[in-house]
C-alpha cells in the first residue's frame, strides 16, 4: 500500500496520535523521547546506527534489498522502497520508519530489525531510537 493511504487521527481523551501507513499502525506517544542533540545528520549520527542494524538486509552489498529499501544513504532512506517514502523530514506521523525501528507497530512483522532475525541483530536502543527521532524532527539532514 502506498504512503498516500496514511491517515492520522487524534484519539479523544487519550491525546495520542495514531499513524496508519499500509499495515503500520503506531501510537506516536509511545516513542522514546527525542535525543537532546542538535544538528543531527544522517552521515554523522544515523548511518552508523543503520550500518549496525540495517545493512545486512538494506545495505550497499545487498543485491536485492528487502522491500527495495536501501538504508546506506540519506537519499535512499528518504526515497523509500516498495511502499514509498519511509521518512518525511520534520514529520514523525508520516515517517513509518520511525515506528518500525522503535518496534511499536501493531504488526511485529514490521519491526526493524525483525524479531528473531537470523543475524541476531538486536533492536535499536531507546537512545538510538531517540536519535533517529531527533534526525527526522530536525529535518532529516
pTM: 0.80
H or E element at residue 90 = none
pLDDT tens digits for 79-94?
A: 999 988 999 999 888 8
Average pLDDT, stretch 30-51? 96
In this prediction, residue 80 carries a pLDDT of 94
- Contact yes or no for 31/129 (Cβ under 8 A): yes
In this prediction, residue 83 carries a pLDDT of 86
Cell numbers at residue 111, please?
519491526
pLDDT band for position 66 (50/70/90)? very high
Average pLDDT, stretch 71-79? 96
Rg over CA atoms, the chain: 14
Average pLDDT, stretch 21-46? 82
Cell numbers at residue 123, please?
533492536
Amino acid at each position: 500500500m502506498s504512503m498516500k493511504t496514511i491517515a492520522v487521527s487524534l484519539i479523544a481523551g487519550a491525546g495520542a496520535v495514531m499513524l496508519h501507513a499500509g499495515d503500520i499502525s503506531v501510537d506516536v506517544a509511545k516513542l522514546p523521547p527525542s535525543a537532546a542533540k542538535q544538528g543531527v545528520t544522517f552521515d554523522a549520527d544515523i548511518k552508523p546506527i543503520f550500518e549496525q542494524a540495517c545493512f545486512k538486509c538494506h545495505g550497499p552489498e545487498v543485491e536485492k534489498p528487502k522491500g527495495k529499501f536501501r538504508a546506506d544513504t540519506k537519499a535512499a532512506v528518504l526515497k523509500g522502497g516498495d511502499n514509498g517514502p519511509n521518512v518525511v523530514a520534520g514529520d514523525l506521523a508520516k515517517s513509518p520508519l520511525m515506528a518500525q525501528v522503535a518496534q511499536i507497530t501493531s504488526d511485529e512483522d514490521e519491526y526493524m530489525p525483525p524479531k528473531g532475525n537470523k543475524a541476531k541483530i538486536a533492536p535499536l536502543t531507546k537512545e538510538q531510537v531517540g536519535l533517529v527521532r531527533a534526525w527526522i524532527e530536525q529535518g532529516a539532514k
